[in-house]
């Protein structure tokens, strides 16, 4: 199998510790790291040793005269994603851009149209769509096993402080842009990317857990016709959250983390029907009664084989490989990734925060 040559821009937390980990693993059957771009000289030296045979540059524009690049990975700072990707597409490169895709839908549309015009691949690295727990949740949601889903609760919460560039609005930081593409992506994905999905409520704020001026508490409620309510939180002040996705169905509930799940449900016909009683309930002596019974229930639990960071990354890159080499359609399109950004854009537009830095 022929390996494709890639160039990666950025060797920070994502470029090195997510993409890079995959490149040097035995799971990487598809790509050769040909070029690495990073402004930091130390990281360029590390890259020479980490990806044998690669060339390193301090500026991505030095890639423009290279004719042996099959795809460029844009893992630059979030606020650089749009300008850098636009420049790469204008110079004829296929591009995988890190999340967040862009700041707003206008920027997304600009890149999507440019990629189409130049017949280039453009995709966004949101490997959560390929994670075992997401695929399990989506399958369960449509299976009917726990009935018709009434609400999906998505929690990407924790209890920690942050003080780096990801806390600054001027650098496109904050939980909605940084972490948000994952839970918001799950939300729009479980709504089947319905074009009629809308944000019916949102709020976000900066708490004492952030040293900057961007959001570290985010709450979003979404709805689409004939679809469940979606309740999303991305919160640095939650010390007791024990799930990432919870499905509440008409016959049961399932909650899942990235590594395991647990569900409890009833099976139709196993519990005797209870005709509705209009009068108040009472016992033989006339004492009031409450609706109380011992339901026949079923419980299941299990673990997932892999996470977004290993299986998800591997499957994402495999999907992109066959799109590039055989023209297979990507499992998720740039327009679907744009829908994630439209939600984030709406939250920021409806809840402007004061710029302090």
The H or E element spanning position 203 is strand 198-205
Average confidence score pLDDT of the chain: 97
pLDDT in tens, 37-76: 999 999 999 999 999 999 999 999 999 999 999 999 999 9
Q: Residue 223 belongs to what H/E stretch?
A: strand 217-223
Closest alpha carbon to 152 in 243, 218, 242, 258 = 243
What is the average per-residue pLDDT within 194-215?
97
Q: What is the pLDDT of residue 238?
A: 96
- The model's pTM is 0.95
Buried b (16+ CB within 10 A) or exposed e, 124-154: bbbbbbbbbbbbbbbebbeeebbbebeebbb
- Contact between 213 and 227 under an 8 Å Cβ cutoff? The reply is no
Average pLDDT over residues 174-180: 97
Separation CA 219–CA 215 (nearest Å): 10
DSSP sequence for 53-78: T-EEESSGGGGTT-S--SEEEE-S-G
pLDDT digits (tens, 9 = 90+) for 250-292: 999 999 999 999 999 999 999 999 899 888 888 889 899 888 8
- Mean pLDDT in residue range 202-218: 96
Task: Place 351 in a pLDDT band, splitting at 50, 70 and 90.
Answer: very high
Question: From CA 207, how far away is CA 205, in angstroms rounded?
Answer: 6
Mean pLDDT of the 84-113 span: 98
Q: How does pLDDT run across 141-163, given as a tens digit for each residue?
A: 999 999 999 999 999 999 999 99
pLDDT given for residue 222 in this prediction: 98
DSSP per-residue letters across 138-185 = HHHHHH-TT-SEEEEEEE---B--B-SGGG-GGGT-SHHHHTTHHHHH
CATH number listed for the domain at residues 4-127+310-327: 3.40.50.720
* 189 pLDDT higher than 90: yes
Q: Where are the alpha helices (DSSP H) in 159-279?
A: 175-178, 181-190
Per-residue pLDDT reduced to its tens digit, 296-310 = 999 999 999 999 999
Residue 286: per-residue pLDDT: 87
CA distance 317 to 127: 9
Give the pLDDT of residue 122: 98
The domain locations on the chain are 4-127+310-327, 130-308+340-350
In the prediction, which pLDDT does 279 show?
Answer: 86
Say yes or no to pLDDT of 25 above 90. yes
CATH, range 130-308+340-350: 3.30.360.10
Cα-Cα-Cα-Cα dihedral of 49, 92, 340, 322, to 10°? -70
Confidence category of residue 3, pLDDT binned at 50, 70, 90: very high
In the structure encoding, which two tokens stand for residue 222, read together?
């979404």
252-256 vs 260-265, strand pairing mode: antiparallel
Distance CA 126, CA 162 (A): 22
Distance CA 34, CA 250 (A): 52
- Cα Rg, the chain, nearest whole Å: 24
- Residue ranges of alpha helices (H) inside the chain are 13-14, 21-23, 41-50, 81-90, 105-117, 132-143, 175-178, 181-190, 313-326, 334-350
What the block records as the tokens of 221 is 């409620």
In angstroms, the CA 145 to CA 142 distance is 8
């Amino acid at each position: 199998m022929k390996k494709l040559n890639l160039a990666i821009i950025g060797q920070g937390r994502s470029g090195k510790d997510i993409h890079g980990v995959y490149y040097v693993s035995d799971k990487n059957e598809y790509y050769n790291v040909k070029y690495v771009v990073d402004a930091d000289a130390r990281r360029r030296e590390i890259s020479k040793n980490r990806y044998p045979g690669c060339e390193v540059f301090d500026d991505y524009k030095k890639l423009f005269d290279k004719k042996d690049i099959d795809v460029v990975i844009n893992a630059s700072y979030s606020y650089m994603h749009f300008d850098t990707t636009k420049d790469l597409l204008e110079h004829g490169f296929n591009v995988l851009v890190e999340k967040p895709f862009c700041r707003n839908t206008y920027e997304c549309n600009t890149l999507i149209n440019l990629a189409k015009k130049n017949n280039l691949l453009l995709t966004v690295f949101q490997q959560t769509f390929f994670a075992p727990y997401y695929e399990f949740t989506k399958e369960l949601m449509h299976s009917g096993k726990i009935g018709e889903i009434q609400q999906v609760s998505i929690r990407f919460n924790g209890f920690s402080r942050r003080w780096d560039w990801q806390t600054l609005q001027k650098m496109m930081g904050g939980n909605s842009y940084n972490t948000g593409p994952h839970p918001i992506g799950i939300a729009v994905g479980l709504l089947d990317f319905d074009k009629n999905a809308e944000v019916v409520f949102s709020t976000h704020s900066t708490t004492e857990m952030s040293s900057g001026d961007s959001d570290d508490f985010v709450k979003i409620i979404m709805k689409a016709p004939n679809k469940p309510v979606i309740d999303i939180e991305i919160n640095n002040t939650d010390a007791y959250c024990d799930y990432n996705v919870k499905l509440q169905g008409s016959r049961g509930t399932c909650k899942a983390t990235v590594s395991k799940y647990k569900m409890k449900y009833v099976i139709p016909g196993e519990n005797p029907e209870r005709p509705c009683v209009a009068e108040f309930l009472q016992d033989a002596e006339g004492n009031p009664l409450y609706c109380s019974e011992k339901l026949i229930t079923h419980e299941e639990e299990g673990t997932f084989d892999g996470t977004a960071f290993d299986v998800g990354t591997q499957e994402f890159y495999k999907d992109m490989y066959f799109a590039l080499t055989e023209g297979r359609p990507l499992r998720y399109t740039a327009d679907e990734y744009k829908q994630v950004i439209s939600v984030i854009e709406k939250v920021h537009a409806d809840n402007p925060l004061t710029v302090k830095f």
